Amino acid sequence: MPLDLTVSHLLLAHDSAGPRGVGRSAGATPALEEAALQTAAHYGPPTAAALFVVDLSPATVAVVRTAVAPSPGFHFLLLGRPLYDLLGDPFQIADRYPPPWAARGDLPGSEWPAEPLPRRTVAQILDAFHAGDMPWLLGGAQSLIDGGRLVFESDTPDESRVRLLWHLLPDRSRADLRPATFAPSLALNFHVTVTPAAAPFPPNHLTAEQTRDYPEGRYELALQIAVETNDQAGLDRLFARRTSADMLRFALTAVGLATAAALVVKLAL
């Protein structure tokens, strides 16, 4: 079955009455629009330009931009989960489709080019180390892989920080995790949240200082070694690694297949 490359658009305005739909392309079904309206209501009135990712349905992932000017609103880019899983980088997705904030009514749909994103190089990862808060980036990558969530307290968005972190994660983790470069609260339970909300935070949420002090793990160490030794092949393998959830699904599938095979053999005797 060919991969569906459709990218649909949905525009919401947010005023004193709350969020409301003002523009949509053909793929933005009433059910998805309703899910987007609920998401916007939970997020709250936009107070800054930000990006976040949410699941609108089991089959649809949304990459969302918020705006304050010219008026508060949300731009939802809707992708089928197989396409989003293949890409995994919401920042490059959002960069390709700037929000048409002034548009209203019927919007044209889009289609992702039939090509993968460029592979990440050793030089790019080294640049990320130099450009960002390296202890936070490495600790953040390892803690997310270990199942943690990150909170960075700030009154303003920090897209550059989250972009750099996403650049260090394995492909599978990038597809599974949901970031927010700014959110007024933790209501939508993102895996990485830049927020003005004050501690105490829910269990398993690490602050910036806790992230910097996070114990070094295998992934973090392997990433540093690949970069320090200019090992592009090793970096490619590291980014292509399975997550623990993938391994669990594989193990459960194997057990299920073995059980089914044993049952078939038993019935045949």
Condensed to tens digits (0 to 9), the pLDDT of residues 220-230 reads 999 999 999 99
Contact 185, 42 (CB under 8 A): no
Predicted confidence (pLDDT) per residue in 111-135, tens digit: 999 988 999 999 999 999 999 899 9
Percent of the chain that is helix, strand, coil (3-state, to 5): 45, 20, 35
Structure tokens at 219: 């992934």
pTM: 0.88
pLDDT digit string, tens, across residues 175-189:
999 999 999 999 999
On the 0-12 / 13-18 / 19+ scale of CB atoms within 10 A, 97 is middle
Task: For 183-213, give one letter per residue: b (16+ CB within 10 A) or e.
Answer: bbebebebbbbbbeeeeebeeebbebebbbe
Of 85, 92, 110, the closest CA to residue 3 belongs to 85
Decide: 143 and 150 in contact? Cβ < 8 Å: yes
pLDDT confidence of residue 268: 56
Gap between the Cα atoms of 266 and 269, Å rounded = 5
Between 170 and 266, whose confidence is greater?
Answer: 170
The answer, yes or no, to whether residue 264 has pLDDT greater than 70, is: no
Q: How much is the average pLDDT of 161-171?
A: 97
